Structure 1
């Protein structure tokens, strides 16, 4: 069966057809890391010394004393999308390396700032950059990474101006989503539509940007760029649904964050808002939403018993199953955009299997 004839959910089994030589997801992510790492390191090495060391710590290359280490690093999902999108439109992954580096830099800019804004003290199984070096240095490092991302695209030549505008627009959407996320924490009521739109900006925009940048770098047609951006945007929102589940029930050994971490900070994530709005079960009881609202309305820190109860209420409301079902539906839509881009078979297969990995993680 052709890699572009994928219709069922998870729906990615067909995409691993041996006839097109598709690599499994773990190999794809390792390939993405290996392909991008030299150029990413070279770019970070151009930063001024203080922020360079903080960036290298955040990226897992140095410890807090500036000594080389092999700490956990990012999975390079967004770079993989850029590299594979280039292949999908008939180009080479090498053509998209600057785009992959730029989107990874922009992603890490957002993580550095996100950790500060959320007060998170752990990322990738060790203290966050702001917890080690201070708030102001971590913010400056994030700023430096975003500026560097644009510089990498400019230095690549070719469609640099177009690529820079695509990245800038995605970052503006990311900032909008992050600003709305912060605003939701101060509001008693948030609608599910508002929460979904927030997630589209916070996560979907940059994943859509990654796929679009890869297609642009490899001279994809306007329609291919548009469809691959749609693939990435829908995949990004699906990823956020699953990530929100992991923020409640995820294994700390896999997520690098404590269990119930999102509930502890009273974050209004998609399953939380769905429970508060009573939007997951036809004719279901509103009691779980009322009980969760009461927990969230308190001012004292939530105890372990409170956190367990909050998670149970979300499950009782059906928001856990609803979130995974929503992710599955978004995956279907993403694969529809992928097919519409008329991609090269192997790249299509690998993008689809990567999408399956991101939307069916253990939780």
Structure 2
């Protein structure tokens, strides 16, 4: 038994995330240490472990919510969290591969309250570091020696392909003025929900789950992941920079076709028409225009709709969670994490 499996009887979602981060970080650092030095320097900067000169920092490393889902999924089916550590590390590596590439493609200069890796080390270096993390994720699973490693690699590879497809759609939407709500939801299912679903599935596999448990937990994770994206898109417009690590209205400034934006544009209201003119003008939007765009989205009802969708998705996810016949404590904590996914600004 390891520290991962010695835990208090009752934990809040925040305590679960702290437990996950404390358990995963040492294994994550060990994995990253195997990278070539050029890639290791950028990866460690991105994770917040050190600055651009390699000096240790106290930077925000992120919440590690995906590894927490993997560890709890293993416990939910009667396995040990420590046994699922390779699954948790692999999922976190894939997630951060996507963040490194997303920051380049979106041109974002800030993540977790500090300059993005590409803005410090250059575009090409950041792309290569992301590639290295993806390769390392599969190597961690392959080298784990677990009987389900091959199935886990297939599950994580499938989720990564869906993630890439979702990112491609997200980028394509920026060039289109006719994005439909159903298309945007499908994009989010691929870009965000697939990996959280895979975190639950791979964690369950490493907990020696039955086939039906793996699939129910995957469905649970995917619904939570979609709720997570609805919340993330709201934070991308109205989020407090102290929480998001990005400027207020950052998604509007980048003309992102996020879920609330697409829903607002499709509403057929006078506010939608004004928003369409603002969103598709050639000039850069200033502070007043960005604030007006946010007001128009809210006026269409898209903000309230997004909040309602996130709440409904979490309720539907719990049905799948219970269908997996989970351990009582793990069920409570998985549901608590799911609720946190829709309340990150509270």
TM-score of the alignment, normalized to the shorter chain, above 0.5? yes
- Aligned counterpart in structure 2 of residue 36 of structure 1, from 24, 31, 42: 24
Quote the Cα distance in structure 2 between the aligned partners of 1:164 and 1:135. Answer: 28
SS in 2 for 1:156: coil
Quote the Cα distance in structure 2 between the aligned partners of 1:226 and 1:292. Answer: 41
Q: Note the C-alpha offset of 1:65.
A: 1.0
Quote the Cα distance in structure 1 between the aligned partners of 2:296 and 2:54. Answer: 45
- Aligned counterpart in structure 2 of residue 165 of structure 1, from 106, 130, 154: 154
Q: Note the C-alpha offset of 1:205.
A: 0.2
Q: How does 1:121-200 map to 2 (within 5 A)?
A: 121-158=109-146, 159-200=148-189
Quote the Cα distance in structure 2 between the aligned partners of 1:357 and 1:22. Answer: 16
1:300 and 2:289 are equivalent in the alignment:
no
Q: Note the C-alpha offset of 1:288.
A: 1.1
CA shift digits 1:193-249 (9 cap, x unpaired): 000000000100000000000000011000000000001000000000000000000
CA shift digits 1:255-275 (9 cap, x unpaired): 100000000010000000000
- Aligned counterpart in structure 1 of residue 329 of structure 2, from 346, 354, 357: 346
1:62 and 2:47 are equivalent in the alignment:
no
Give unmatched runs, 5+ long, in structure 1: 1-19, 279-284
Quote the Cα distance in structure 1 between the aligned partners of 2:234 and 2:289. Answer: 17
Q: Note the C-alpha offset of 1:22.
A: 3.1
TM-score under structure 2 normalisation? 0.97
Partner of 1:113: 101
SS in 1 for 2:283: coil
Partner of 1:221: 210
Higher relative contact order (CA 8 A, sep 6+): 1
Partner of 2:83: 95
Quote the Cα distance in structure 1 between the aligned partners of 2:294 and 2:191. Answer: 23
CA shift digits 1:47-67 (9 cap, x unpaired): 000110000000000101111
**Equivalenced residues, count:** 338
Partner of 2:5: none
Q: Is the 8 A contact 1:22 1:349 kept in 2?
A: no
1:71 and 2:54 are equivalent in the alignment:
no
Quote the Cα distance in structure 2 between the aligned partners of 1:84 and 1:94. Answer: 10
TM-score under structure 1 normalisation? 0.92
1:249 and 2:265 are equivalent in the alignment:
no
Q: Note the C-alpha offset of 1:68.
A: 1.2
Quote the Cα distance in structure 2 between the aligned partners of 1:32 and 1:241. Answer: 24
Q: Note the C-alpha offset of 1:286.
A: 1.1
- Aligned counterpart in structure 2 of residue 311 of structure 1, from 288, 294, 306: 294
Q: Note the C-alpha offset of 1:21.
A: 3.0
Give unmatched runs, 5+ long, in structure 2: 1-7
1:233 and 2:222 are equivalent in the alignment:
yes
Q: Is the 8 A contact 1:276 1:292 kept in 2?
A: yes
Quote the Cα distance in structure 1 between the aligned partners of 2:269 and 2:14. Answer: 42
SS in 1 for 2:143: helix
